[in-house]
Amino acid sequence: MLKIREAHINDLPVLLSIYNDAIVNTTATFDLEPETLEKRKTWFAKYGGKYPLIVSEWDGEVVGYGSLSPFREKPAYNSTTELSIYISSAARGFGIGTALMSELITRAKALGFHTMIGGITAGNEGSIALHKKFGFTLAGHFKEVGYKFDDWQDVHFYQLILPTE
C-alpha cells in the first residue's frame, strides 16, 4: 500500500541513496558528484512550513520523495514554487510520481501558491508526461545550460497556474 507522509530526518539515508542514484545515472539533476549525508542534512533543514518535503512509502519502505522549494529569492516570486520529485529506480512506473505530484499540488494550493514550476531536462519523457498529466504546460526551453555525461543538456520549464477558488 502506498502512503504519502512528511519526511523525517531518519529518512535521510534513503533519500540520499535515491538522489545519489539520480546523480550518477540520470540527467534529472545537474549535480555531478554523489552527495554526502552531512551535505544532505543541510539540504533537509531547509524544508518545513511553506516548503514541505514529503516521502512516498510502499509497504513501509521509502521509495520516493517530493518537495516544494522557493523558485527565486526576490520577494515578488514568493507566490511561485518549484517542485522536485525523485523516485527510486526500482519503483518507477508504479504511480508513485503521480501520488507525489497530486499531494504537492494539493499542498501548494493550501499554502497559497499561485504558480508551480518544474524544470525538466530534455529527454526525461516520464517527467514530462507526469507534468502534462496534471495540466502543466511548457513555459520555456533553455538550450545547452548544463553539461553532463559528456553532452550539453537542455532544460524545459513546465508551469501550472493554480486555480483560485
Phi-psi region of 154 (alpha: psi -120 to 50; beta: other; left: phi over 0): beta
What is residue 24's predicted lDDT score, i.e. its pLDDT? Answer: 98
CATH of 2-161, one of 3.40.50.10210, 3.40.50.12780, 3.90.230.10, 3.40.630.30: 3.40.630.30
CB 49 within 8 A of CB 41: no
Phi-psi region of 85 (alpha: psi -120 to 50; beta: other; left: phi over 0): beta
What is residue 164's predicted lDDT score, i.e. its pLDDT? Answer: 78
CA distance 162 to 47: 21
E-assigned strand segments in 34-93: 53-58, 61-70, 80-87
pLDDT per residue of the chain (165 residues) written in tens, 0 to 9? 899 999 999 999 999 999 999 999 999 999 999 999 999 999 999 999 999 999 999 999 999 999 999 999 999 999 999 999 999 999 999 999 999 999 999 999 999 999 999 999 999 999 999 999 999 999 999 999 999 999 999 999 999 999 876
Domain boundaries, the chain: 2-161
CA distance 40 to 134: 29
C-alpha cell at 49: 512550513
